[in-house]
Amino acid sequence: MANLKEVKQRINSVMSTQQITKAMKMVSAAKLRRAQDKIVQMRPYSQKLTTILNNVSASAEGAADIVYATKRETKKVLLVPITSDKGLCGAFNTNIIKATNAAIKGQFAEAEVSILPLGKKSFEYYKKSSFTLVNSYYGVFQNLTFDTVREAAEYVMNSFVAGEYDQVFLVFNEFKNVATQIVRTEQFLPMAPSESSEVKTAETDYILEPSRAYIIEELVPTSLKIQFYKAVLESNASEHGARMTAMDKATENAGELLKELKLMYNRTRQAAITNEILEIVAGANALGGK
């Protein structure tokens, strides 16, 4: 059985860890609220913009050739795994890396795969791999703004138009609630029309100025950048939710461990006191025997 000093040191250590996990939970809760507000406000805008784009494009009747919708034989693929910069968020980062690796081994087994990591965790993982790595944008979460994310989106879009990649996929955690994040592998390029676009097109009649072709030319890049930014915001909110949940569970586990350690401490202390009493009694008996 451990001595009292060792048990006491373990109790102090666990208590210190519990204080840290409590503080991290509170910080993540505050950050989650702001991140959740951003993504909740972004979703309707992104969905409406995509709907308008689908309606206008479907009724274009060949007036505009959308270069971002060009379909080619899949030879070169760019995957964009979106992780966090920090750990201590459960399986948040691991799930993204697993989904990315599964896509590489399955869907894109015959293609030449390149990786554009967003977040330090995915960058640190894939820099050790043999894949071509685009490492210019992994620090977007250090200053998460639309302008920062737009640079990465523009690189991806320009590279696709130049023929460097035939397909681009985003791998990210979609925020559902604090305890649930859903891993998504979504096609970013070439553009895929919404399933409901055909139905909505017939219901909407737009008056377009100066021309339908000009509107599409301006609207398509904006819509793609918004879609890219939305995926990053989804991941950011999911990260804080996952970290909050992980720290809450860690705090609970620390509390359970403290109960066990305090029980061990009391038992060890009781055993030490009992041994001392026995030694005193044995010593008194020995002196009385003289």
Order of all β-strands in the sheet with 112-115: 132-133, 112-115, 76-81, 167-177, 180-189
For residue 196, what pLDDT is reported?
46
Question: Residue 171 falls within a domain, yes or no?
Answer: yes
Instruction: Tally the domains of the chain.
Output: 1
- CA-to-CA separations, 214 to 16, 60, 65, 207, in angstroms, rounded: 61, 11, 11, 13
Q: What is the mean pLDDT of the chain?
A: 87
- Asked if 203 contacts 137 with a C-beta cutoff of 8 angstroms, the reply is no
pLDDT at 209: 72
Res. 49 pLDDT band, cuts 50 70 90: confident
Q: DSSP label at 39?
A: H
pLDDT above 50 (res 125): yes
In a domain, 129, yes or no: yes
Looking at the domain assignment, is residue 12 inside a domain? no
| 286, part of any domain | no
Q: Which residues form the domain of 147?
A: 25-245
Residue 118 is classified by DSSP as B
Structure confidence by residue, pLDDT tens digits, 159-214: 999 999 999 999 999 999 888 999 999 999 988 765 544 444 445 666 767 777 77
**CATH code, 96:** 3.40.1380.10
Residue 200 maps to a domain: yes
Q: Which helix (H) or strand (E) holds 173?
A: strand 167-177
pLDDT value at residue 53: 73
> Would residue 98 count as lying in a domain?
yes
Specify if 193 maps to a domain. Answer: yes
Q: What angle do CA 185, 24, 33 make, to 5 degrees?
A: 60
pLDDT reported for residue 202 = 47
Token pair recorded at residue 140: 């977007």
Residue 142's CB is within 10 A of a number of other CB atoms, namely: 9
Cα gap 51→226, rounded to integer Å: 13
pLDDT at 241: 94
Asked whether residue 273 is assigned to any structural domain, the reply reads: no
pLDDT tens for 67-83 read 888 889 999 999 999 99
Q: Which residue has the tokens 């891993």?
A: 183
Three-state SS for 179-199 is: CEEEEEEEEEECCCCCCCHHH
- State the Cα angle at 210 between 205 and 215, rounded to 5°: 65
89 is catalytic: yes
Q: Which amino acid is at 54?
A: N
pTM: 0.84
DSSP letters for 239-258: HHHHHHHHHHHHHHHHHHHH
Give me the amino acid identity at 183.
V
Those residues with Cβ within 8 angstroms of residue 14's Cβ, 6 or more apart along the chain or in another chain: 254, 257, 258, 261
Span 90-100, pLDDT tens digits? 999 999 999 99
Given this model, what pLDDT does residue 194 score?
Answer: 54
Residue 80, beta-bridge partner list: 170
Catalytic residue selected from 89, 103, 170, 237: 89
Give residue-wise pLDDT tens across range 147-157: 999 999 999 99
Express each pLDDT in 105-118 by its tens digit: 999 999 999 999 99
Q: Given its phi and psi angles, is residue 112 left (phi above 0), alpha (psi -120 to 50 degrees) or beta?
A: beta
Residues contacting 192, CB < 8 A, separation 6+: none
